[in-house]
Structure 1
Amino acid sequence: MKLNTIKRTAICISLLAAVSCTDNFEEINTNPNGITPELLEQDFNHIKGSFGPMFNNILVLTPEWKYQVQQGLQGDIWSGYMATGTAFRGGTNNTTYDLVDGWNGFAWGAAYGDVMFNAYNVEQKAKGKYDQFYALSLILKVEGMHRVTDTYGPIVYSKFGTTDPVIAYDSQDEVYNQMFKELDVAVAELTKRVDAGEASTFVTTDLSSYKGDYKKWVKFANSLRLRLAMRIVKKNPALAKTEAEKAIAQKFGVMTSNDDLFKVVSPTFNNPIATISAAWGDIRMSADMESIMGGYTDPRLPVFFNTSAQFPGQYKGVRTGIEIAAKADHVDFSAIGPIVNSKEIALMTTSEVYLLRAEGALRGWNMGGTAQSLYEMGITASFDQHGVSGATSYIADNVKTAKAYVDPNFPANNGAALNNVTVAWDATATNEVKLQKIITQKWIAGFPEGQEAWSEYRRTGYPKLLPVLKNTSGGKIDSNLGVRRVNFVQSEKDGNPGGVATGLTKLGGADNGGTRLWWDTTGPNF
């Protein structure tokens, strides 16, 4: 379905509505002629049903148009991963920094209607009684909701499920502190069960690649802790170090092999990007990907992208934030490649974890290796993940850098190369250059998961991306800095205006896309 044909539907999307849904949950879900609650509890069926919606709405996997407005026209674009040659709303939209409230509320709605609501339901039914399910729900909750706070800033978190007239927002630092505590609970609970040799009760419910393996879930929780720790490093370096080292020191540690990847596995549908790119032609390779991966002659290019139909044998990207006269002008540039033709959608990779550890080691933390060794292991893990050879020579290349971007159809869109670092580690380089190398490789390895790449770009400024040429934000968003956050959603302004007011106070700036989040500071990386 195309964006201009989306019909508005009345759904339980505002927080007040979500809370009211929980008030009579038991009553409306009780069939007087069905099986008894006691029988349901024998196989945990009263709990298990909440997990499917959580798995399938961290990223909205179906229908595809919901993914498109949840993330495709947000993080996937602003991260520099992808671009569109479609002139949505007459060419004035998220890609040109005129943020569309009608699109940007879907990330909030999916998170609260499906992730938070179901995590709350599991907590009510399982906490203190079936704590393995509670622990697993906490990990999914943190994975889903850290993306939401990293999109909007202050959010409803600790007050979710209350019946207060005003549902107050938590600041980002409050949200992060609670998430660290929730991961503590989850890791302790599941580790205890692994140590006791307990068989998993999550096998048939687990829609990830872990198949209910508690130990793998602990490793994912530790890896997620490491990600969150790094996010706050410029605001609370002491806590960041403590949490990162805790993740590494935990007895099961973090992801170390590609069997540890956290992937949502769908039995029925592919990655929605496949449809949006191949069938609709709405998404193409970005100019930044062409510049950086093309400059490196990166062997992963054929996995990530298809060659251009208009320019055979070439990878051609589209620049974000340009004048678009017709979709046909760029539709035959490079589509997204085989990486999205899968029923497995990776949300966290082993490569990312090695590169997080590389940055930690660069900062002097105990990460179980040197910055260089972890950096090179991260690149190798990405190559292995995609079945691509040539990692050794790629890692050793100290010559190739990003290349200039050329739009062969519209030279006004051309741009000089900006992210001019080589791949090879340089022990004599400054920490800033070393960090640029680490984040550039993390950016490449994370494709196509644009939300995390956008967050890390905002945190570090890397990789350096081409600025938009058409900025329709009315001065709210800087062309060179890009979008820093998404506006608070209209459903909340209508249904919880007092809560939104608390969020604005904690945001500390205007409710627009130019205001930086708590962890997104103007200070130096070191």
Structure 2
Amino acid sequence: MILNKIKTTAICASLLAIVSCTSDFNETNTNPTGITATDLEQDFNHVRVPFVTVFTGIFNTLHWKYQLQQNLSADIWSGYMATPTPFKGAAGDNSNYNYVDGWNGFIWDLPYTDVMANTLKIEQRTKGKYDQFYAISLILKVEGMHRVTDVFGPIVYSQFGTTDATIAYDSQEEVYTKMFSELDFAVAELTKRVNAGEASTFAGTDMSAYAGDYKQWVKYANSLRLRLAMRIVKIKPALAKTEAEKAISHPFGVMTTNADIAKVIIPNYIDPILTISSAWGDIRMSADMESIMNGYSDPRLAKYFKESADFPGEYRGVRTGIDMIAKSDRTGMSEIGSIVGSNEKVLMTTAEVYFLRAEGALRGWNMGGTAQALYEAGITTSFTQHGASGAAAYIADNVKTAKDFVDVKDSGNNGTAVNNVTIAWDGAAGNEVKLQKIITQKWIANFPEGQEAWSEYRRTGYPKLFRVLHNTSGGTVTTEFGPRRVNFVQSEKDGNPGGIETGLAKLGGPDNGGTRLWWDTTGSNF
């Protein structure tokens, strides 16, 4: 099972600097080339391979793995995409809230083998010696693993790599506390090196667009801190404000231009979403995207989606949670567009950072601008990112709202528009309406990153999404609120049952999809 394998990997990583752990350890630990670990360290080759796996493992780059890691869960539950494929027939699947454990196990397993195991190797090979590498690995670790805790709640984090028979879980609050501390270390370490005028030694290892620039990595870390701070605003408002203002007040600040976007550049890369959508026909535009972006006449629509094959010149979606009869019924709806056509995978956009700052300003925090100015900057930045024109007119539109959804194949799936807010900022509106505008525009700008969109939907309730029509969860997930988390995975139940018990004790509810996470509290947003 996965954690048993990971424990072995962790043990081997502490013993070997170069070769993998194998059953014939003594034989393979002999280096036939005569190159020593010290020789390899001169060019940092001893950490390049684990960094590659981390960079390409946050979003797994293999199509079928990504489909199971995120596409058939968060990408759907966020309201971004829908599947036209009746994978499990009348019983339903994740899209009907009848969780498929065989799919969802990958949401846990892949980050532990790709991100956690390899950041542990990097830590063992660099901490206290090459702390610039260790600092950047911590930023990537936080990026990869906050996504995991935001799916499951309690996870293995601080105890990862131990050889104990039981690997204990941290509560989600403990995970977030440690992540803030890890970002503290990373920001301080890299800032010190920038201020000293030190040349970067990370350029040859860096797969991001930053080309080893420590200052850019600090901006990204600060922006990531801002994202995590906002996530906990309803459960720890004072801490959220402190962490958010810490990010903004840092001398290097946060991401402010599209040149700052955090993205991984992968040679010969084909985005898994492109394969899943265009080659396999397993994913399409959602009814929510059709309702909101068509309603706004959003100029980014043609970047995000292709015209419907069945209705040329139109953008048509599929409603999640309907009764699927045949895949061919809806594969003629809009595929995912050119947004997934490059060799880049975006981890965080500058537009998102502006919307985070806009919400912070709405809450009275010092975010370096007014809520309105930051909101409008977020929209403009997103338009620029995608090469779309007409941002000024779009921002000023105080008339258009979401459109009703019409299922051209089955009128029983029609839906009256639910996310009824205009685009233009309204200074006289209440905070909930203003927040709905901010989150709706952040939701549009963050496409196609469904994990972040799903997390923010759970936190805020925005944008308002169509409810599923066929909920086959057996009552564990409500139609009103939708999935709140994923239950603990089978690999853990088999390989780390004692750890599962510690996780259950810290969960705060039954181990099913209806239990809310620590930061996912009920009630208003203010």
TM bracket (short chain): over 0.9
Cα separation, 2, equivalents of 1:318 and 1:23: 47
State the shift of 1:523 in Å: 2.3
Q: Percent identity?
A: 68
Equivalenced residue count is 513
Query: How do residues 64-213 of structure 1 correspond to structure 2 at under 5 angstroms?
Result: 64-91=63-90, 92-213=92-213
Q: Which residue of 2 aligns with 1:467?
A: 467
State the shift of 1:17 in Å: 2.1
Cα separation, 1, equivalents of 2:304 and 2:371: 27
Name the stretch that deviates more: 285-294 or 40-49: 40-49
For residues 441-495 of structure 1, the C-alpha deviation after alignment (integer angstroms, 9 at most, x for no partner) is 0000000000000000000000000000011100000112111001101000000
State the shift of 1:37 in Å: 1.1
Q: Which residue of 2 aligns with 1:447?
A: 447
Q: Which residue of 2 aligns with 1:17?
A: 5
State the shift of 1:24 in Å: 2.8
Give secondary structure in 2 for the equivalent of 1:33.
Answer: coil
Q: Which residue of 2 aligns with 1:393?
A: 393
Give secondary structure in 1 for the equivalent of 2:251.
Answer: coil
Cα separation, 2, equivalents of 1:147 and 1:199: 32
Question: Cα RMSD (Å) of the superposition?
Answer: 0.9
Cα separation, 1, equivalents of 2:306 and 2:268: 24
For residues 317-338 of structure 1, the C-alpha deviation after alignment (integer angstroms, 9 at most, x for no partner) is 0000011110110000000011
Q: Which residue of 1 aligns with 2:24?
A: none
CA contact (8 A) 1:284 1:336 kept: yes
CA contact (8 A) 2:159 2:169 kept: yes
Cα separation, 2, equivalents of 1:156 and 1:193: 32
For residues 291-332 of structure 1, the C-alpha deviation after alignment (integer angstroms, 9 at most, x for no partner) is 001100000000000111111111100000011110110000
1:110 counterpart letter in structure 2: L
2:78 counterpart letter in structure 1: S
Cα separation, 2, equivalents of 1:111 and 1:31: 30
State the shift of 1:202 in Å: 1.0
For residues 79-134 of structure 1, the C-alpha deviation after alignment (integer angstroms, 9 at most, x for no partner) is 00000110012251100001111000111111110100111111111110000000
Cα separation, 2, equivalents of 1:229 and 1:21: 32
State the shift of 1:44 in Å: 1.5
2:490 counterpart letter in structure 1: Q
Give secondary structure in 2 for the equivalent of 1:364.
Answer: coil
1:14 counterpart letter in structure 2: I
Give secondary structure in 2 for the equivalent of 1:346.
Answer: strand
Q: Which residue of 2 aligns with 1:3?
A: none
2:521 counterpart letter in structure 1: T
Name the stretch that deviates more: 223-232 or 344-353: 344-353
For residues 177-208 of structure 1, the C-alpha deviation after alignment (integer angstroms, 9 at most, x for no partner) is 00000000000000111111111111121111
2:95 counterpart letter in structure 1: T
Scaled by the length of structure 1, the TM-score of the pair is: 0.96
CA contact (8 A) 2:11 2:163 kept: no
Query: What are the ranges of 5 or more consecutive residues in structure 1 without an aligned counterpart?
Result: 1-12
CA contact (8 A) 1:485 1:514 kept: yes
CA contact (8 A) 1:234 1:523 kept: no
For residues 227-262 of structure 1, the C-alpha deviation after alignment (integer angstroms, 9 at most, x for no partner) is 000000000000000000000000100000000001
Query: What are the ranges of 5 or more consecutive residues in structure 2 without an aligned counterpart?
Result: 21-28
State the shift of 1:518 in Å: 0.4
Cα separation, 1, equivalents of 2:42 and 2:308: 55
Scaled by the length of structure 2, the TM-score of the pair is: 0.96
Q: Which residue of 1 aligns with 2:23?
A: none
